């Protein structure tokens, strides 16, 4: 089986290493190091228990049109470039999207590809160097097929492992929405307050903010009340207590954040349903203001 | 005429210097420097045009019970101590309160004093050294009598000057509320975003936050719609563009802020009227969270 992964960021490399470990032919699509267009590369993965696993993957400069699965692992902002690069790819090759948020959901489904699935990753990944990735925090890789045949993706079940448990979900949009909601609790607040995830639940005022935000979101999206409980928010803060959230890391590095794909997409969804989210909207504009100011006094 | 001023902070010293300039006998109540209990002190005031005015005032260690007016110029947090120190003071001596916010309004009126007025200061003051204060930005000193006889305060009209124009208002609570509303726009946002006042209107996302906050407050307090326009918020940001707000200054110095007397009091007022202010409440909890965390990562 040949898997081509577009994007050599932390999540792309991590998934590549687990699939290569299961003897898949893994190709990372992107600019290879040096001049070679097809190069064998050893990538290393520091596991949660601090052991290091080495696997071999190949780098190619463009999609081959011979893959059994294409995984799209770039950030939302680079997706339009990726859509263009996939135009020549056969419609029958299944696609799996690994982005955060909801912003990519409808535009991906609008592609003329036959089989499209989405992924919601419940663990963290940190790139340590060009070919070295660290797996941060345990969690499952949720996959939901949104278009085409489930069968095209079912071989992924066999790639499930202790380090990367794979679970199939029924409703892709709901799965992405749940992850985006979770991100809405952690990311903007940690970025605004410059605190680690765990501090959100040890401080009384941030806990109050989390509760206000939870009540606001559940009022706007009552269909989640049954499955999405406040203690999931608490559990995520506990589990990732020592983590610097991706949005805070982006802020500290003066990078553009994912606020639009996470909170922006949920605000849009609420607006479509004629619901207001003043708390989330306030956090959204504050993060946008940081980006706009460049933080200069 | 003898005026005793409790509190030798920036605003207390500034008002003292203007009243001393008008040949009042001005006594500052508080711990004098050195051991003397009654000391002549020269205080200096750097005016808006950068000229420096010197006047003489006296320091005393406690209220004399001989004043024609007592001005209370400490911050809200020290008021309870001041109330206790005033217990032996004759009820007929008029009191003038100079605090920000609304939190002191009802408790001050509950004192057993006959004549009570409140002040809303529309300019800035910055203490440069123990006896040197800078007058920052032009603006009026609004006074409104809330209890007792207007006549007891009317001599203050004669103390009005080009540097300190004094204007009497009818409704003390409304006057304090208007100032608190203005502070709600500037203070929490500048403290959270760490920007100067002017940046609130040059950035599109903070301007949107100001608009959201304005609409929320005017929906909760429609009685202000007639007199309190959004362009007052803009004008204040423009007029104080280069200023670091007091709340940002407090945050940067790791001091307790005035968030409770400003936003907290307005949230309480809204709650009494069964109105919700989710945007202001979010900003309130964020500032409280900064205070609680001590900003350590």
Contact yes or no for B293 and A204 at CB 8 A = no
Using DSSP, how many helices (H) and how many strands (E) does chain B show?
11, 11
Q: Name the residue facing B193 among A205, A208, A289 (closest C-beta).
A: A289
Nearest CA in chain A to B290: A193
Contact yes or no for A193 and B281 at CB 8 A = no
Do residues A224 and A218 lie in contact, with contact meaning Cβ atoms separated by under 8 Å?
Answer: yes
Q: Chain B partners of A216 at a C-beta cutoff of 8 Å?
A: 278
pLDDT above 60 (res B156): yes
Q: What is the DSSP letter of A262?
A: I
Q: Is A37 exposed, middle or buried (0-12, 13-18, 19+ CB in 10 A)?
A: exposed
Question: Whose CA is closest to A13, among A61, A54, A67?
Answer: A54
Domain boundary among B170, B189, B217: B170
**B180 and B78, same structural domain?**
no
pLDDT above 50 (res A48): yes
Contact yes or no for B285 and A196 at CB 8 A = no
- Mapping DSSP onto H, E and C, the string for A185-226 reads HHHHHHHHHCCCCCHHHHCHHHHHHHHHHHHHHHHHCHHHCC
**A32 and A158, same structural domain?**
yes
**B84 and B16, same structural domain?**
yes
Domain with residue B92: its CATH number is 3.40.50.720
The average pLDDT across A189-214 equals: 96
d(CA A3, CA A72): 11
Complex-level ipTM: 0.81
The average pLDDT across B277-287 equals: 98
At A227, is the pLDDT very low, low, confident or very high (cuts 50, 70, 90)? Answer: confident
The average pLDDT across A160-175 equals: 95
**B233 and B116, same structural domain?**
no
Mutation for B interface: A285, A295, A296, most B CBs within 10 A: A285
At A30, is the pLDDT very low, low, confident or very high (cuts 50, 70, 90)? Answer: confident
The average pLDDT across B251-272 equals: 92
d(CA A191, CA A234): 18
What pLDDT does A111 receive? Answer: 96
Give the distance from residue B7's alpha carbon to the nearest chain A alpha carbon, in angstroms.
31
Contact yes or no for B195 and A281 at CB 8 A = no
pLDDT above 80 (res B295): no
What pLDDT does A146 receive? Answer: 97
Domain boundary among A139, A170, A201: A170
What pLDDT does B35 receive? Answer: 52
**A48 and A163, same structural domain?**
yes
**A8 and A50, same structural domain?**
yes
Q: What is the DSSP letter of B156?
A: G
Percent of chain A with pLDDT over 90: 79
Beta bridge partners of B71: B5, B96
**B193 and B237, same structural domain?**
yes
Binding-site residues on chain A for chain B (CB distance < 8 A): 192-196, 199, 203-206, 208-209, 212, 216, 278-279, 281-283, 285-286, 288-290, 292-293, 295, 297
Domain boundary among B170, B197, B225: B170
> Model confidence over B201-211: pLDDT tens digits?
999 999 999 99
d(CA A280, CA A210): 10
The average pLDDT across A205-221 equals: 96
Question: Of A166-180, B34-48, B57-71, B108-122, where does mean pLDDT reach its minimum?
Answer: B34-48
At A226, is the pLDDT very low, low, confident or very high (cuts 50, 70, 90)? Answer: confident
**B13 and B136, same structural domain?**
yes
Q: Name the residue facing A203 among B194, B278, B292 (closest C-beta).
A: B292
**B166 and B23, same structural domain?**
yes
Q: Supply angle C-alpha B173, B176, B179, rounded to 5.
A: 150
CB within 8 A of B97, min separation 6: which ones? B72, B104, B108, B116, B117, B118, B119
Q: Chain B partners of A260 at a C-beta cutoff of 8 Å?
A: none
At A136, is the pLDDT very low, low, confident or very high (cuts 50, 70, 90)? Answer: confident
Binding-site residues on chain B for chain A (CB distance < 8 A): 192-196, 199, 203-206, 208-209, 212, 216, 278-279, 281-283, 285-286, 288-290, 292-293, 295, 297
Full residue range of the structural domain in which residue B254 is found: 175-293
Write down the residue that tokens 């203005």 correspond to.
B182
**B219 and B160, same structural domain?**
no
Contact yes or no for A289 and B196 at CB 8 A = no
Q: Chain B partners of A292 at a C-beta cutoff of 8 Å?
A: 203-205
What pLDDT does A34 receive? Answer: 53
What pLDDT does A296 receive? Answer: 43
Helix (H, G, I), strand (E, B) or coil at B37: coil
Count CB-CB contacts under 10 A for residue B253.
Answer: 9
What pLDDT does B36 receive? Answer: 52
Write down the residue that tokens 């930005």 correspond to.
B137
Contact yes or no for B289 and A212 at CB 8 A = no
Structurally, how many domains does chain A consist of? 2
pLDDT above 60 (res B159): yes
Percent of chain B with pLDDT over 90: 79
**B32 and B156, same structural domain?**
yes
**A71 and A53, same structural domain?**
yes
Count CB-CB contacts under 10 A for residue A274.
Answer: 7
Beta-sheet strands, E only, within chain B: 2-6, 25-29, 38-46, 52-60, 69-72, 95-97, 116-121, 124-129, 132-136, 141-147, 166-169
Domain with residue A212: its CATH number is 1.10.1040.10
User: What count of CB pairs under 8 Å joins A to B?
Assistant: 81
């Amino acid at each position: 089986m040949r898997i081509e992964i577009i994007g050599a960021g932390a999540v792309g490399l991590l998934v590549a290493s687990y699939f290569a470990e299961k003897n898949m032919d893994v190709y990372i699509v992107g600019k290879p190091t040096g001049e070679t267009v097809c190069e064998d590369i050893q990538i290393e993965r520091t596991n949660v228990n601090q052991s290091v696993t080495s696997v071999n993957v190949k780098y190619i400069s463009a999609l081959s049109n011979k893959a059994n699965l294409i995984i799209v692992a770039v950030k939302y902002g680079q997706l339009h470039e990726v859509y263009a690069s996939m135009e020549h790819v056969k419609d029958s090759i299944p696609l799996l999207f690994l982005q955060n948020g909801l912003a990519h959901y409808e535009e991906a489904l609008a592609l003329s590809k036959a089989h499209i699935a989405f992924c919601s990753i419940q663990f963290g990944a940190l790139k340590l160097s060009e070919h070295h990735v660290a797996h941060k925090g345990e969690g499952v890789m949720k996959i939901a097929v949104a278009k085409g045949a489930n069968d095209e993706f079912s071989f992924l079940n066999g790639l499930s492992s202790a380090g990367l448990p794979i679970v199939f979900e029924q409703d892709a949009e709901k799965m992405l929405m749940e992850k985006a909601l979770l991100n809405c609790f952690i990311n903007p607040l940690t970025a605004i307050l410059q605190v680690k995830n765990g501090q959100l639940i040890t401080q009384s005022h941030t806990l109050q903010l989390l509760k206000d935000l939870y009540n606001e979101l559940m009022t706007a999206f009552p269909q989640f009340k049954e499955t999405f409980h406040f203690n999931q928010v608490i559990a995520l803060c506990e589990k990732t207590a020592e983590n610097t959230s991706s949005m805070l890391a982006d802020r500290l590095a003066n990078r553009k954040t994912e606020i639009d794909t996470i909170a922006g997409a949920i605000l849009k969804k609420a607006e479509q349903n004629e619901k207001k989210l003043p708390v989330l909207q306030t956090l959204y504009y504050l993060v946008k203001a940081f980006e706009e100011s460049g933080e200069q006094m």
